[in-house]
Chains A and B, each alone.
Chain A
Amino acid sequence: MNFPISLLQDILFTSDKIYSVLAVVLVVFGAFLFMMIRQDRRLSQMESEMNEKDNPHP
């Protein structure tokens, strides 16, 4: 069976490679979360700067 199906078959139909799959998935998910949290914090900072611009303190 040709690549990438052979690889998919190997991963999806046997259980011994599941830890490698889990490691890859968790690294990708961790990187995604890091990006989301950083973006969220940056947005909060920019929003407060914008609020300051819209309603400047006397």
Chain B
Amino acid sequence: MTKQSPLRITYKALAVALLLYALIYGLLAEIPVSPQMGSQLGQSARNLLYHVPNWFAMLVMMGISLYHSIRVLRLTDPDREQTENPLRADIKANESARVGVMFNILGLLTGIIWARVSWNVAKEATSFSAWWGWDPIQTCALIALLIYLAYYLLRNSIEDPEQKAKVSAVYNIFAFMTLIPLFFVIPRILDGLHPTADGGAVLFKKEGMNNLLRTILYPGMIGFILMGVWIYEIRSRATTLRFRWQEWQSNQEYDNSHQS
């Protein structure tokens, strides 16, 4: 069996430890009801510890996807020496975007439930606005999800693997660029239901959040990101293995046909 490097084992163990810490301490710690958090949140304020890390994990996964998409374009450049098969980089770009989409969906779901019990508690459960308030951040997150779902539609519409890799790499670069206005610019311009401090997100502002929550939220964020990297690693290794197997089979068929 191939031995894993100590770095790989360390990051996986760290992911498990940090997530266990965030889950156990996050659910059992006495939640302070500070003026910033608002007393109407009650125990649901714990959702902050599991809702917010999804978005950071999503951004990291989309960043990894962007990196591999740039590599695809460099590797398919005819003026450069081809050091690696560009399709392998495309597999990594595709799989990391997939994990990013998973975090986006988890972030939206945890947000929808939280919004229902905190912002829209007075509304009837059957009404759409009880679950979805068209808050700018919420809407931008949905737009980001749709942009990345279109990435998969695009991929599935192209049959030639090399062309698919190149076209989807270009699209992926643009998709990542849209995340900057969607997550960092528009929510700061438009007023919404999400809490803000000094016009920005409360997470990293001194007056924005209680220190106890910080001690759970920040390690939890790292745990979510490392777990995302682990899922991505497993998925890309599995797909790369399938790719290698197909390459090996076609090489065998080629050798056999030339021997006979």
What is the interface of chain A, defined by CB distance below 8 A to chain B?
Answer: 1-2, 5, 8-9, 11-15, 18, 21-22, 25-26, 29, 33, 36, 39-41, 43-48, 50-51, 53-54
Contacts and interface: CB of A to CB of B under 8 A. Distances in A.
Interface of A is mostly: helix
B244 A54 contact: yes
Contact of A36 (B20, B47, B230, B237): B230
Q: How large, as a class, is the contact surface on chain B?
A: 20 to 34
Contacts of A8: 113, 116-117
B42 A36 contact: no
A49 to B, nearest CB: 9
A13 B114 CA distance: 12
Interface of B is mostly: helix
Interface stretch (B21-29, B69-77, B83-91): B21-29
A51 B43 contact: no
Contacts of B23: 22, 25-26, 29
Nearest to B114: A12
Contacts of B24: 22, 26
A51 B117 contact: no
B117 A15 contact: no
B241 A12 contact: no
A11 B16 CA distance: 25
B245 A50 contact: yes
Interface of B: 1-4, 12, 16, 19-20, 23-24, 27-28, 42-44, 46-47, 113, 116-117, 121, 125, 230-231, 234, 237-238, 241, 244-245, 248
B105 to A, nearest CB: 16
B117 A9 contact: yes
Contacts of A5: 116-117, 125
- The 5 A-B residue pairs with the shortest CB-CB distance in the complex, in nearest-first order: A12-B44, A13-B42, A48-B2, A44-B2, A22-B27
Contacts of B42: 12-13
B1 A33 contact: no
Contact of A12 (B20, B47, B237): B47
Nearest to B8: A40
Contacts of B20: 29
Contact of B237 (A9, A47, A53, A54): A47
Nearest to A8: B117
7 contacts: A8-B116, A9-B117, A21-B27, A22-B27, A25-B23, A47-B2, A47-B241
Contacts of B12: 40
Given A8-B113, A25-B27, A53-B248, 14 more contacts: A2-B125, A5-B117, A5-B125, A12-B46, A18-B28, A21-B27, A29-B19, A33-B16, A36-B234, A39-B238, A46-B241, A47-B2, A47-B237, A50-B244
